Amino acid sequence: MYIPPYFKIKDQKMMQEIVEENGFATLFSQHIGEPFATHLPFMIDDKHEYLYTHMAAPNPQWKDIDNQNVLIVFQGPHCYISSSWYETKLAVPTWNYVTVHVYGVVEMMNDEELITSLNDVVNKYEGENSSYALHDVDEKYLEGMRKGIVGLKIKIINWEGKAKLSQNHSKERRNLVIDQLEKSPRVDEQKIAQYMRHSM
């Protein structure tokens, strides 16, 4: 990923938080010599050494992915930045965003790892007051569903983080942008404003 120095995320904890907060990501690999991508839910282990996911068994991507070097893109908040917000007309619009790229090597999960991973996903995303729990589902039904998916774990090799938050502009201009973003009802604009405030 192209990252100018002033956009580079150097804080490892920040990158980990972005991954955990934006767990629905894109897995890129090579399949029969061509780029292939699938959008999947990812979980990360407590030591931040492995990513875990699963995909539909009919998806051909997994069939030659074992031991491949892959890229997973975690897209954080992003939004349009209007040049009308600046103090000058000598400017053009841009896009601010936060993203993390994780590189790793794929291993196939065994049944026990897959079951644990599925439980972790449900436990993370079900609300605190939800009455749903995977262990309450009929075992025969679950077994049938498990036959239709394939579990993957990715040993993390490298992290890259980019936070393009108008750092190449003056503090005064960045404050003008923040003021406009905070007026927006959209979640991404609000989040980008928060990131911009924290980066100043």
Q: Exposure of 153 by Cβ count < 10 A (0-12 exposed, 13-18 middle, 19+ buried)?
A: buried
Cα–Cα distances in angstroms (integers) from residue 39 to residues 24, 55, 115, 119, 160, in the given order? 7, 9, 20, 19, 19
> Does some domain include residue 58?
yes
Sign of CA dihedral 161, 162, 165, 171: positive
pLDDT given at position 129? 87
User: What single-letter amino acid sits at 12?
Assistant: Q
Number of domains in the chain: 1
> Does some domain include residue 179?
no
> Does some domain include residue 184?
no
Pairing of strands 24-31, 43-44: unpaired
| β-bridge partners, 41 | 24
* 3 state SS for 40-109: EECEECCCCCEEEEEEECCCHHHHHCCCCEEEEEEEEEEEEECHHHCCCCCCCCEEEEEEEEEEEEEEEC
> Does some domain include residue 67?
yes
> Does some domain include residue 159?
yes
> Does some domain include residue 150?
yes
Rg of the chain over Cα atoms, rounded to whole angstroms, equals 20
By the 8 A CB rule, do 105 and 70 touch? yes
> Does some domain include residue 151?
yes
Residue 39 structural domain: 5-168
pLDDT profile of the chain (200 residues), mean per 10: 97 96 97 97 96 97 97 98 90 95 97 92 90 87 90 98 96 96 97 95
> Does some domain include residue 26?
yes
Q: List, in order, residues 6 or more apart from 190 with CB less than 8 Å away.
A: 181, 182, 184
For position 41, which CATH number holds?
A: 2.30.110.10
